[in-house]
Each structure stands twice: as C-alpha cells, then as structure tokens.
Structure 1
C-alpha cells in the first residue's frame, strides 16, 4: 500500500496528464455516440420495420471484442486518437439507441392520444410528450454507455491514443504492479464519478413531483 502511494505521488504529473487525455477521449466519443444514437433511436420508432435490422447490426458491433474493434480501425484510420474515438463511439451506440427506441415506444398511448386530440403535430408530440417521458430510460442508456466507453478508453492506448492505458501498458512492460494500479485505479474512479455525476444530472432535471413518486415506489 505504501509503495502504491509513493508511486501515485511520484507519478502524479503523468497520472494527471493521462487522466485529462482519458476524459477527452471518452467525452468526444460519448458526444458523437449520443448525437448519432438518439436521432436514430427516434427514427426507428417511426420506421419500426427497420428496427430489427439496425439494432441487430449495432448489436453485432457490440459483440466484437474491444481490442479487435480497435485493431480493425488501424488499416483504415491508422493509429492515434481518431481511430480510438471512432471505435469507442461505435461501442457506445447500442445502449443509447436501444434505450431511446424502447423508452419512446413505452410512452403511455393514452397520453399520445390526448396530445393528438389537442392538435399537436408530430414534432410537438416528440418534443413535449415522448422525449420528456422517455428521458429517464434514455439517460440510463447514456450512463451505461459512458461507463463502457471509459473502460474501453483504457484499451485505446494499444493504438497510440494515450490516456490512462499508457500507464497500464508501461506497468505491464516493466512487470510493475504499482504502475499498473496507477493507471487502473484512476480509470475505475473516473467511471464511478461519471456515473454519479450523470445520476445527479438525471435527478436534477427530473420534475419534483416525479422525484417524490420515485421515492414512494422505491
């Protein structure tokens, strides 16, 4: 334990720099995953006959081992941050897209009929009824994808993308458990912190009445 603390103190600048790279990789990948997956999930609710095919393709991507997916990027995009971000984005699509699709489909039909009865257009229904009610489910998918992406960012070091995976690779090469933990522990802490932050954001944007209802049913 003391040895680990010494390594953490001695390598603090390296850990801080690697953590910044790790957060940047994960944030960029998650941004594009949300930008792609949420609109596609919404689109699939309008064209349900495509849902099986599209979700099936995204599910296949999810089954590819992380290292193999990163390796597939190298012949096309080379090494570095770009192929890592593309691979991480692809890996984060399924939870967000599936939860967006499921969340919107699970909206109470009586509420949709009430909206139509009030003369709402499809765009208004989506903005004012479907997305607000599906938001908790969509947010759950984003939280899941975020934790997965932060974990995969550790492996991105294998293709020269940087991040905390660099410390882990260095520790493996030197057969030094302390250096491995200096990369692994901050990566695990990041995943937990991001999940907590997203949970707090979800709680804050939830209307007060729904918060009380959740507490009562918990």
Structure 2
C-alpha cells in the first residue's frame, strides 16, 4: 500500500485489515504482559524473586537495555549509511570488498565472543558493549544502503544531472529518497538485532535485561527468567512494530 493512502480512503474490510495490521503487535504484547502479570500475582515468590521482580529494578534494567540498543542503532546509522554512500560513489571494488569483509566479520563472529574479546583487550562496561553491538549490527544497514543506491534507475540519475543538478544534489534529492525504503528496512533489522544481542551485555557488567535472564538461570528462579526473557521479546516486537510504521509512513510519495 502506498504511503499516500489514508484511512479516509479505506472502508469495510480494508480499513479493519489496515487497523489490525497497525495494532496487532502492541495488542499481542499487552495481552501476553497481562497474562504474565496475572500469573505472577498468583505465584508464591521467595525473597530473592521478590527483590528482583519489583518495579524499580525492572524499570532500571529496561532503561539500561534501551539505552544500549538505541545508542548502538544510532551509531550504526551514523556510520553505515555514509560508508555505503562512499562505497557507492567511489565505485571501487576493492573498497567495497574490504568494508563488506570487515562488516561480515563483525556479524559472523558469535556476539558473545565479540563482547568477551573486547572486554579482555579493553575494559568492561557500557562502552565496550556498545562497540560490540555496533560491530554486530553494522552489516544490515551497510548492505541495504548499497543495495538501495544500486537499485536507483540510472536514467533518473542522468536526467537529474542533465537538468543541472550537482552530484551532491542528486544524492540527497533523488538517490537517498528513492533508496530510503531499503535503507530503513536495514535499520529496522539492525534495531531488532541490537535489542536481542544487548542481553549479553550483562557478562561484562554493562547491565540490561540480561541481568534478569542470567540471574534467573543461575539461581533457578524461573519467574525471574520468564519476566526477563519476556521483556526482551516484547521490546524487540514493539521496536520492530515502530520501525515498521516509520518505514511505511516515511516512504517517499509515489513509491508503493
């Protein structure tokens, strides 16, 4: 569906389908969260579980998790998109091969291995986990930027140049807007990667919801494990949902 389509232009089953597609993810997350809350309310928690499953502790872990995930995604966008533009503009096969090889190393290596290696050679904490997440989530954005720019019709580019636009103007007014759906899809993938992989930040004292998951496993406190894992899954689903809305409504007019 085109971004120019509005709810006013929908009726009957089409409108219901559109609304369900928009609201499905938050509704499902809310229902599951309510079910977990009801289950916890009826469960007999010991002192360790009560100290962990309280509002202040959970909110603190969620904030740490979001800070790490969103900071990593912002850095990936700030680095990978310009890198993709540079490679596309240079038309250098060597540069493309080298950068893609480095990005592939970051994603091909197990995420926990990247985190632990960086902690060994550098230090533990938030900044190390952030670098590891950037390395892990870099490839989808870089690859989608290259793909999106490559898919821009050469005739459109040449027409713009023929009208007197500079190459910089063509890039920002023609190429990047036309490539934006593909680039946004890469950012969406990167965000979900970051939310999931951020759980291992706990191994290097960087906080996040991984603390709850590891504590639940280590201490065999399954309510803590279920809540921690459920929160990570819920955040990933909601982040993907929000990114999907941005991807749909930020699409340039005229693109389906």
TM-score norm. by structure 1 comes to 0.91
Aligned to 2:90: 47
Deviations 1:53-86 (A, max 9, x none): 2101211221100110001111233111010000
Aligned to 2:167: 122
| Alpha-carbon distance in structure 2 between the residues aligned to 1:183 and 1:73 | 25
Aligned to 1:24: 67
Q: Is 2:52 the partner of 1:13?
A: no
Q: Is 2:122 the partner of 1:86?
A: no
- Aligned ranges for residues 119-158 of structure 1 at < 5 Å? 119-158=164-203
Gap regions ≥5 residues in structure 1: none
Deviation for aligned residue 1:11? 2.4
Higher alpha-carbon Rg: 2
Q: Name the structure with the higher helix share.
A: 1
Kindly indicate whether the alpha-carbon contact (under 8 Å) linking 2:178 and 2:252 is maintained by their aligned counterparts in 1: no
Deviations 1:81-129 (A, max 9, x none): 0100000011111000010011001101110111011011110010000
| Alpha-carbon distance in structure 2 between the residues aligned to 1:34 and 1:77 | 24
Aligned with residue 213 of structure 2, among 156, 163, 168:
168
Moved over 6 A (4+): none
What SS does structure 2 have at the residue aligned with 1:209? Answer: coil
Aligned to 2:245: 200
| Alpha-carbon distance in structure 1 between the residues aligned to 2:213 and 2:223 | 9
Aligned to 1:67: 112
Kindly indicate whether the alpha-carbon contact (under 8 Å) linking 2:177 and 2:252 is maintained by their aligned counterparts in 1: no
| Alpha-carbon distance in structure 1 between the residues aligned to 2:81 and 2:153 | 20
Deviation for aligned residue 1:181? 1.2
| Alpha-carbon distance in structure 1 between the residues aligned to 2:145 and 2:252 | 20
Which one is further off, 8-17 or 156-165? 8-17
| Alpha-carbon distance in structure 2 between the residues aligned to 1:38 and 1:198 | 17
| Alpha-carbon distance in structure 2 between the residues aligned to 1:209 and 1:42 | 23
Gap regions ≥5 residues in structure 2: 1-35
TM-score norm. by structure 2 comes to 0.78
